[in-house]
Structure 1
Amino acid sequence: MPSLEEILIQSNDMPWRAKSLKGVHEKMLWRDDATGASVALIKFEKGASIPTPHLHASNQMMFCLSGHYEYTKTGVTLKPGSFYCNPKGNVHGPTLAHEETVVVEIYDGPHYPVRPDWYDNDEDAR
């Protein structure tokens, strides 16, 4: 396994990259291409949503920096200071951003077992 190197990223200097799912943007802070693990800032515009239930190929963790983001089927709600941990293989969603929301999203491996149909390219699903 390659060793990590010390890095410092000024995320305020990075542009948001629009994903192919309307209203969703990211700033990729770190990714291990060998394992698929990653750390990113994700911004959901008000009204943006993940439209269907889905699962991940690894553990997903999110820390909410701002906004109001809800898993509509279960009522699980992220607000500033909320930490959410979703284990590998757990079906969850759909979701809705009730207001513009920014989260730190961490995966300890690849994001999806297969690309979800709401993305039109592989880059958005990794």
Structure 2
Amino acid sequence: MTLPDGAPTLDEILINTATTPWREKSLKGVHEKMLWRNEATGASVALIKFDKGASIPEPHLHASNQMMFCLSGHYEYTATGVALKAGSFYCNPKGNVHGPTLAHEETIVIEIYDGPHYPMKPSWYTDEKDAH
């Protein structure tokens, strides 16, 4: 198959997520397994695990569109009452202020960004790597 001029190439990827270790982020109770990242655009696909009681403490916005599919658990945007449970799909448009959040139980989501995560590192992360 010939790709159109300018189309990005993408090699096939296969990751056994069951054997991939969680990387703990600098915000207590938040872990990730990065599945794919485009370094040029900041787009990414990751598994994110929130321990029970973990929270994004402040309202915030993203520099691109954020999409999440909840695999398990109960995760709430407390200001609006929007709650993700197993099977829920959440789409948050670029620039929309949302949060804070609370994981009512251990929650695992697939999180997708179509560009960079944040316009700048949020205050709750001490490691710049956690904001990408």
Query: What TM-score range do you get, normalising by the shorter chain?
Result: over 0.9
Asked if residue 96 in structure 1 is aligned to residue 105 in structure 2, the reply is no
Secondary structure of the 1:5 match is: coil
Q: Distance in 1 between matches of 2:10 and 2:125?
A: 30
Match of residue 114 from structure 1? 120
Of structures 1 and 2, the larger Rg is shown by 2
User: TM-score, normalised to structure 1's length?
Assistant: 0.98
Two-structure CA RMSD over aligned residues (Å): 0.7
Segments of structure 1 that go 5 or more residues without pairing to the other structure are none
Q: Shift of residue 80 of structure 1?
A: 0.1
Report the counterpart of residue 43 of structure 1 in structure 2.
49
Are 1:60 and 2:42 matched, yes or no? no
SS in 2 for 1:90: coil
Scaled by the length of structure 2, what TM-score is found?
0.94
Match of 2:3 in 1: none
Identical positions, percent: 79
Please tell me whether residue 125 in structure 1 is matched to residue 131 in structure 2. Answer: yes
> How many pairs were matched up?
126
- Deviations 1:37-93 (CA, angstroms, capped at 9, x unpaired): 000000000000000000000000000000000000000000000000000000000
Name whichever of 1-10 and 34-43 sits farther off: 1-10
- Runs of 4 or more above 6 Å deviation: none
